[in-house]
Amino acid sequence: MGKDKLRKRDEIPAQYKWNMQDMFESDELWEEEAQKVVELAKGLQQYKGHLSDSAETLYEFFQKLDEINYYGERVYVYANQRYHEDTAVSKYQGYSAKADTISVEMSSATAFMGPEILAMDEALIEQFYQEKPELERYRRDISEILRGKAHTRSAEVESVLAQAGNMAVAPYNIYSMFDNADIKFPTVTDVEGNHIQITHGNFVSLMQEKDRRLRKDAFRGVYNQYKKRGNTVAAIFQAQLKKESFYASVRNYPSVRAMHLDTGNIPESVYDNLIETVHKHLPAMHKYMSIRKKLLGVDHLHMYDIYVPVVEDPGTKYPYDEAKEIVKKALVPMGEDYVSVASAGMDKDWVDVYENENKRSGAYSWGAYGTHPYVLLNHQDNLGSMFTLAHEMGHAMHTYYSNKCQPINQAGYLIFVAEVASTCNEALLMHHMMENCTNEVERKYLVNHYLEEFRTTLFRQAMFAEFEMIVHKKLAEGENLSKEALCQIYHDLNVLYYGPDMVVDEEIDYEWMRIPHFYTSFYVYQYATGYSAAIAFSKKILEEGKPAVDRYIENFLSGGGSKDPIDLLKAAGVDMSTPAPVDDALNVFEEYLDKFEKMC
């Protein structure tokens, strides 16, 4: 059942829609619960200034916090998922807006918690654990707050820092306004003489066009616009770097990187291992570029040649019902329990499959504690959509096991591990497809698809991470980070990562100016580490079988946020504090690259 024309929501058969009644049987019940959250938020005020009164009071507060988080999450998720089904429905637009307001009220109502716990004597907290053993359930929550003590300043300084928050968002807001509203790209002409206005939205698809002149024109058209505004963007970026440096200094961190990695208690060695290990495997990336050059039949490979497909899409169709059966088979190595839960979820209630008028674009997995996870898709009957299904079901199963095995305060997992389960599912699907593929054209396409995943998620994100590391280090050492200096750093990294067969065009020197992630410091490395951990897990699952699956499900998927991300992964058999997982993942890349070379 494909998508011939965009249907209205009520024209989609029920079996292809998620079941929101599993969360709330009616909108009226949602409205009642929304009001309940508002009342609960008001009720928390009675604990303000009293958390240190007694063990019983502190325990009671955390119990109330669990309650408000349970109902608040349900209210927020339901409102937004209903809104995403059809964004033109005014009722659910209103629900979504109301949920946002309630979310802010919840945050305000609990704002006193951190400062009060930080002000408590740690010996008193330990005494509370003895007096009220049930309080142990919240030890990790309390420990995470106390871990920030060394980086928390006096009440007066904290007040000033809070007031400075409106200024602190300025670099990102200015950049966002510049990049989304002010910068305008030229038009390019395709082979048929059509004029195409370049936008952020169509730039990547233009880079995938077969017409090389069109790619080159689009590439130059975009980067020349950044070049013209280079001094301005450099000044915005310098403001971002200096702002981050200011906060790291005021909060007693040795560096900006140390400050951001501390959020998940991630050792800085994880970051260094990623970059050093990727460097070790760069010859494989260079070899891939050499094969790409050969397949494109060009004398010189340019930066505008790296996204154009070098293998024809065989055009095999994967309608949802067929796609989900293939995904089920691909997940068989995960064991009976995992497959039966995932199968039931895909068959009914969890997944909203097809696009309809005004439905939110893209795909995600979401949900609220106490109800099964949900998955939003816009399935298109192609290979990419099947991989998206496997990916989002990985997120959903991670949430399912975490919610099943952890109390609400420990169920949520951090960004550092968020992409592991989803990418592991994709790797298992890729293995299954390769094992069962009889069509050589499709096999070659699959291998190339996998190599591109590695290039864009592991190599490219590691290059971004290295750029961030270099610029922050240079600023800390007092070096001048002019437009020219930033462009030179970025140019040299492209030379290093893409190798001797790549002509590193001058225009690519300005690419750092169009990466919004650089305004969320030291974030992108997690794409590369998460991808590496996922590939390492999939390899262990396929090679070791049940023992590896049991470790993965019991110690990682079921762990939620009960331990630091590094410890959760280590308990499941992947130690990200060593170079081994990145090394293992890149060895898989090299194996597939060898297969690809033989096919070519």
pLDDT (tens digit per residue) in 13-31: 999 999 999 999 999 999 9
pLDDT of residue 6: 86
pLDDT of residue 586: 96
Q: Helix 139-147 vs helix 122-131: angle between axes, to the nearest 10 degrees?
A: 180
Q: Locate tokens 């893409």: which residue?
A: 498
CA-closest candidate to residue 425, choices 461, 372, 388, 453: 388
Q: What distance in Å separates the CA atoms of residue 399 and residue 371, rounded to the nearest whole number?
A: 10
Q: Is 358 left (phi over 0), alpha (psi -120 to 50) or beta?
A: left
CA-closest candidate to residue 521, choices 274, 309, 263, 344: 263
Q: What distance in Å separates the CA atoms of residue 164 and residue 167, rounded to the nearest whole number?
A: 5
**CATH for 9-164, options being 1.20.140.70, 3.90.79.10, 1.20.1090.10, 3.40.50.300:** 1.20.140.70
Mean pLDDT within 271-283: 98
CB 312 within 8 Å of CB 439: no
Domain positions in the chain: 9-164
In one-letter notation, the amino acid at residue 596 is F
Provide the whole-model pTM.
0.92
In one-letter notation, the amino acid at residue 574 is V
297 burial class (0-12, 13-18, 19+ CB within 10 angstroms)? Answer: exposed
The partner residues of 195 in beta bridges, in order of sequence, read: 189
pLDDT at 3 over 50: no
CA 362 to chain centre: 14
pLDDT (tens digit per residue) in 44-101: 999 999 999 999 999 999 999 999 999 999 999 999 999 999 999 999 999 999 999 9
pLDDT of residue 467: 98
The tokens describing 176, both together, are 């966002």
**392 carries an active-site annotation:** yes
Q: Locate tokens 């996922």: which residue?
A: 534
pLDDT (tens digit per residue) in 122-169: 999 999 999 999 999 999 999 999 999 999 888 788 889 888 888 999
pLDDT (tens digit per residue) in 363-378: 999 999 999 999 999 9
Q: What distance in Å separates the CA atoms of residue 333 and residue 339, rounded to the nearest whole number?
A: 9
pLDDT (tens digit per residue) in 290-321: 999 999 999 999 999 999 999 988 889 999 99
pLDDT at 197 over 90: yes
Q: Which of 73, 392, 466, 511 is catalytic?
A: 392
